[in-house]
Amino acid sequence: MVLNNLIQEGDYVILYLSKQKQWLVKVKKGEMFHTHRGIIGIDSIIGLEYGSSVITTLSEKIWLLKPIIKDFILKSERKTQIIYPKDLGIIASWTGLSPGKIVVESGTGSGALTIFAASLVCPEGHVYSYEVRPEFKIIAERNIAKSGLSKYISLKLTDAKEGIDITGADIALIDVGDPWTLVEPMRKALKGSGSLAAVSPTMNQAEKLTTTLQNTGFTNIENMEVIIRDLEAREGMTRPSMRMIGHTAYLTFARKIL
């Protein structure tokens, strides 16, 4: 029996109608949720098991799914482009993000990578994230609170270029417009053999970052793009999706050497 699988007040739940139409909603007594396909009384879902369905006032069936970290990130409040789940997954695999790791990040941005990293290193590990713009730190704090991972994350309103007060980190994450300026401070924060990952929209950034890494004590430097091709699988009519995301960012990986 699965005791912890019932929807409770205060939970976040995905109201799932279709891949394009899904909403991340906080469960509050007495509230009504309005969709273009009818209304749902939130009281009616409290106590249901995740995976159940409800019917809207317009007779549409809505599935109640438990959000995973990807959902919190895709639905997060943002001021800039977030890092896509595809890129997050590859960062996890390539850097060794996993329970217990100590992570340093700059900049926090809207907190997508911060939240993702914390979700994998908790409860023993920790993410220290630096952001220089106060308005971004505020948004990130709200997104982090929603994800329930606040206690595994320390946000700092500081310019990481001027130095990072962490040492011995396992993993360093960079997501700023001039990533090469963070190579030296991140190198100091990392332990020997530690992993660095950076996210760069343009080839020019990846190129300049790579040159800087080569000259600053890193090896095993790799640059790549992650491309997802959706497949529309239907009996006798299977083909790749006609639409796809063309590009998000280059990912750069490296290991610190002594």
> Per-residue x/- marks for its own copies, 213-232, CB under 8 A?
------xx-xxxxxxxxxxx
- Residue list 103-162, contact with its own copies (CB under 8 A): 116, 119-120, 122-123
User: CA 251, CA 258: separation in Å to the nearest integer?
Assistant: 23
The distance of Cα 48 from the centroid of its chain, to the nearest Å, equals 28
Q: Which residue of 107, 109, 179, 194 would you call a contact of its own copies, by CB under 8 A? A: 194
Query: Cβ contacts of residue 43 below 8 Å, gap of 6+?
Result: 29, 30
Q: Which of residues 49-88 bind its own copies (CB under 8 A)?
A: 49-53, 63-66, 68-70, 85-86, 88
- Of residues 38, 41, 78, 94, which one binds its own copies by CB under 8 A? 94
Establish if 207 lies at the interface with its own copies (CB under 8 A): yes
**Residue 82: both structure tokens together:** 């977030």
Q: How far is the CB of 239 from its own copies (least distance, A)?
A: 4
| 185 lies in the site for its own copies, by CB under 8 A | no
DSSP 61: E
Residue type, 127: V
- 5 counts as binding its own copies under rule CB under 8 A: yes
CA distances from 158 to 132, 162, 234 (A): 5, 8, 51
Using CA of residue 227, residue 232, residue 237, residue 243, what is the dihedral sign? negative
Measured from the CB of residue 48, what is the shortest distance to its own copies in angstroms? 9
Q: CB of residue 188 vs its own copies: minimum separation in angstroms? A: 12
Instruction: Round to whole Å and give the CA distance between 86 and 101.
Output: 21
Contact string 11-50 vs its own copies (x = CB under 8 A): -----x--x--x--------------------------xx
